[in-house]
Chains A and B, each alone.
Chain A
C-alpha cells in the first residue's frame, strides 16, 4: 500500500512537524533518518493517527485518512522499547489485534502459530513479556504488529534498544521479513548504517522537516545541505559480497567492480551480501607503494580534492584508468601539510592503503 503525507504541521510539546511531505510507494522499505528530537516519532505517530495534525493530510492508498481514528487504519506499529502488554502472555500479545477483529478461537490460534513460526517465537508463546530478552521482546512486538496483516508497518527505532549483536541479527530479520511479506514499511532511526542496510530510499529529517529524500547512495554521495553532509558524515560506503579467505581474513568483492575487480581483505563473521564502510581518516595516501602491515593497498588516481579547512578530502579512483561503475571512488581525509608535502593534484597517481580492521562490515 502506498503512503502519502502532504504538508503536515503539528505542535506537540517540544516536538514539531513543519510542512512534512512524503511519498512511500507500495512495497517500499522507507527509512526516515534524523537526530534525536527531529520529530521522527511524532511523524510516525501522526501517520498512525495517534495525533491530529494542525494542517496537512495523510493518505493511505490514495484515500484521505487524516481524520480516521488509528483503530481503523490497519497499521502495524513497533516502538523502540517494545511496549508489550505485561499482563498478557506472548501468545496473547500476538493475538491481541486478532481478537479485537472478532476472529474465532481457531482462526486466531492458527494465525498466531503461523506468525510465530515465521519469527521463530514458537518456544516462547507461553512466556510472560518480562522474562524475554530484548531481541525476543522486539520479535514479539513485530509479530504482534504483523499478525493483523497491516497495510503498512511503522517501526520507531526498532533496533536502538538492543545490544550490537542482537541488533545485527534483528536487522537481517527485518530485511528478510520485508523480502518475504513485501509489507510497505516506514522505519525511523538515527543510525546511518542501519538506514543504508535496510532502505530502498532514505528521508533525512531535521527540526520537524524533511531535508532530503533519495536512495542511500544519493544521500551520502550527494548531500544537499550542510546538515545532511554533517549528519551522514563524509565516508565511504560500498555494497559487496563476502568470500572466504585465509589467515583469518575474508575477501570483500565490491559490487560492480567486475570479475577481476577490487577485492578487499576484511575481518568479519558475516557472509553473503553486505555493506562496508571505511572512515576517510583511516585511509593512508602515499606516492610510492607502502610496505606495511596494512592488508589493503591499491593504486589509484586523484579525481577530486575538497578543501574543508582543517581536513582535505581527496577522492581517489581505483583502478586509476577506470570509470564508475567499473571503478570505485575512495574518499580519504588528510591534513593540509600532508597534501602540500605530497604535491597531490587532480589526475595524478597515488596509492591508498588501509587495514583490514578499518573496514566495517554491516
Chain B
C-alpha cells in the first residue's frame, strides 16, 4: 500500500476527498451529539415518537419481506436466464432509484388510490392504502426494491452455474439444486440486499407522505415537528433515526464477504 502523502498529487486528492467525507460526517455527528442522552431518552419516551418509529421499522420490514418473496425469484431469473426483453425488465427494476420519490407517490396513488380500479378492488377486500399502513408499505416497497433485487442478482451471478449442473447430475431436481446450492451460496448477498432495502425504506419520506401523512412514520414526524415547532423539536427525533440507521448500517458491514467470489 502506498503512503497517503507520497507526493503532491495524493496530497491534493486527499484534501479534496476529505471535504466530501466531512460534508457527510459532520452534519450527522452534529445532529446526534447536539442533544444530551437524557433528552434523547425523553424523546424516546414520547408516545408519538415511539409509535412513529415502530411503525417505520415495521412497515419497512413488511415491504422487505414482500420484496424477498417476489424479488429473489426475479433476481434468480435475471442472473440465469436469457429472455427477450430482459434489458427492459432490468431497467424497470432500476427505475425507482431515478424517479423523484414524490412523483412515485403520485404514481402509486393513481393506481392504489380510492378512485383507482385497483384501489377499489382491494377496498372490497378491506385493504385501504390511502392514509393507512398498507399505503406506507407499498410506498417503501416501490422506492427501495431495486436494492434487494440487484444485490440478490449479483449474489446468484457469482454462483457458478456448473455447480447447479453438478448437483443435478448427483440427483437433485431443479428445486433441490436451488435450495441446496444456489440459495445458500447467494444468501449473504440476499441478506445484505435486504438490510440495505430495509434501511432505505426506513428513511423514505417523499413517496410515503403523498400516500399517508397519517399514520405518521418517523421521517414525516420529523418534517411535521420542524414545520410546526422548529428545529429544536425536530432535531432529537432526527438524531434517533440517524442512530437506528447507523445500527442497520453496522449490521450490513458485519456480514462477512468471504463467499462473495465463488468458483
Do the two shown chains form a genuine complex with each other? Answer: yes
A residues near B, CB below 8 A?
45, 48-50, 69-71, 73, 75-77, 79, 81-87, 96-97, 100-101, 144-145, 148, 154
**A97 engages B168 (CB within 8 Å):** no
Q: Which residues of B contact A86 (CB under 8 A)?
A: 185, 259, 262-263
Q: Which residues of B contact A83 (CB under 8 A)?
A: 160, 162-163, 165-166, 263
Is B173's CB within 8 Å of the partner chain A?
yes
- 18 example contacts (A-B, Cβ-Cβ < 8 A) are as follows A45-B165, A50-B169, A69-B168, A71-B168, A71-B170, A75-B169, A77-B165, A79-B162, A83-B162, A83-B163, A85-B167, A87-B185, A87-B259, A97-B170, A100-B171, A100-B172, A100-B176, A154-B169
**A73 engages B169 (CB within 8 Å):** yes
Question: Which residues in chain B, 238-263, are within 8 Å of chain A measured between CB atoms?
Answer: 259, 262-263
**A96 engages B170 (CB within 8 Å):** yes
Q: In the complex, given contacts A86-B262, A96-B170, what are 4 additional A-B residue pairs having Cβ atoms less than 8 angstroms apart?
A: A70-B168, A85-B167, A85-B181, A86-B263
Give 5 nearest A-B pairs by CB, closest first. A97-B170, A100-B171, A70-B168, A77-B169, A83-B162
Question: Which residues in chain B, 180-208, are within 8 Å of chain A measured between CB atoms?
Answer: 180-181, 184-185
Q: Which residues of B contact A144 (CB under 8 A)?
A: 166, 170
Q: Which of B168, B173, B181 has the most CB of A within 10 A?
A: B168
Q: Which residues of B contact A50 (CB under 8 A)?
A: 165, 168-169
**B169 engages A76 (CB within 8 Å):** yes
B residues near A, CB below 8 A?
160, 162-163, 165-173, 176, 180-181, 184-185, 259, 262-263
Q: Which residues of B contact A97 (CB under 8 A)?
A: 170-171
Q: Which residues of B contact A85 (CB under 8 A)?
A: 163, 167, 181, 185
B16 to chain A, nearest CB (A): 39
A84 CA / B185 CA spacing, docked (Å) = 12
Q: Which residues of B contact A96 (CB under 8 A)?
A: 167, 170, 180
Q: Which residues of A contact B259 (CB under 8 A)?
A: 86-87
Q: Which residues of A contact B162 (CB under 8 A)?
A: 79, 83
A145 CA / B180 CA spacing, docked (Å) = 17
Return the chain B residue nearest A100 by Cβ: B171
A244 CA / B30 CA spacing, docked (Å) = 83
A144 CA / B176 CA spacing, docked (Å) = 17
Q: Which residues of B contact A100 (CB under 8 A)?
A: 170-172, 176
Q: Which residues of A contact B170 (CB under 8 A)?
A: 71, 96-97, 100, 144-145, 148
Q: Which residues of A contact B167 (CB under 8 A)?
A: 85, 96
A79 CA / B176 CA spacing, docked (Å) = 20
**A71 engages B166 (CB within 8 Å):** no
A87 CA / B263 CA spacing, docked (Å) = 11
Q: A70-B165, A70-B169, A97-B171 are in contact. Are A82 and B185 (CB under 8 A)?
A: no
Return the chain B residue nearest A87 by Cβ: B184
A49 CA / B165 CA spacing, docked (Å) = 10
A50 CA / B163 CA spacing, docked (Å) = 12
Q: Which of B162, B167, B168, B169 has the most CB of A within 10 A?
A: B169
Return the chain B residue nearest A45 by Cβ: B165
Q: Which of A82, A87, A148 touches B171 (beta carbons < 8 Å)?
A: A148
Q: Which residues of A contact B163 (CB under 8 A)?
A: 83, 85
A100 CA / B167 CA spacing, docked (Å) = 10
Q: Which of A69, A73, A97, A101 has the most CB of B within 10 A?
A: A97
A79 CA / B169 CA spacing, docked (Å) = 12
**B263 engages A71 (CB within 8 Å):** no
B55 to chain A, nearest CB (A): 37
Q: Which residues of A contact B263 (CB under 8 A)?
A: 81-84, 86
Q: Which residues of B contact A79 (CB under 8 A)?
A: 162, 166
Return the chain B residue nearest A156 by Cβ: B162
Return the chain A residue nearest B173 by Cβ: A71
**B165 engages A101 (CB within 8 Å):** no
A289 CA / B259 CA spacing, docked (Å) = 65
Q: Which residues of A contact B185 (CB under 8 A)?
A: 85-87
A86 CA / B166 CA spacing, docked (Å) = 13
Return the chain B residue nearest A74 by Cβ: B171
A73 to chain B, nearest CB (A): 7
Q: Which residues of B contact A48 (CB under 8 A)?
A: 165, 168-169
Q: Which residues of A contact B171 (CB under 8 A)?
A: 71, 97, 100-101, 148
A48 CA / B162 CA spacing, docked (Å) = 12
Q: Which of B160, B169, B180, B262 touches A71 (beta carbons < 8 Å)?
A: B169
Return the chain A residue nearest B187 by Cβ: A87
B111 to chain A, nearest CB (A): 40
Q: Which residues of A contact B181 (CB under 8 A)?
A: 85
Q: Which residues of B contact A49 (CB under 8 A)?
A: 168-169
A5 CA / B166 CA spacing, docked (Å) = 21
A194 to chain B, nearest CB (A): 21
B127 to chain A, nearest CB (A): 40
A50 CA / B262 CA spacing, docked (Å) = 21
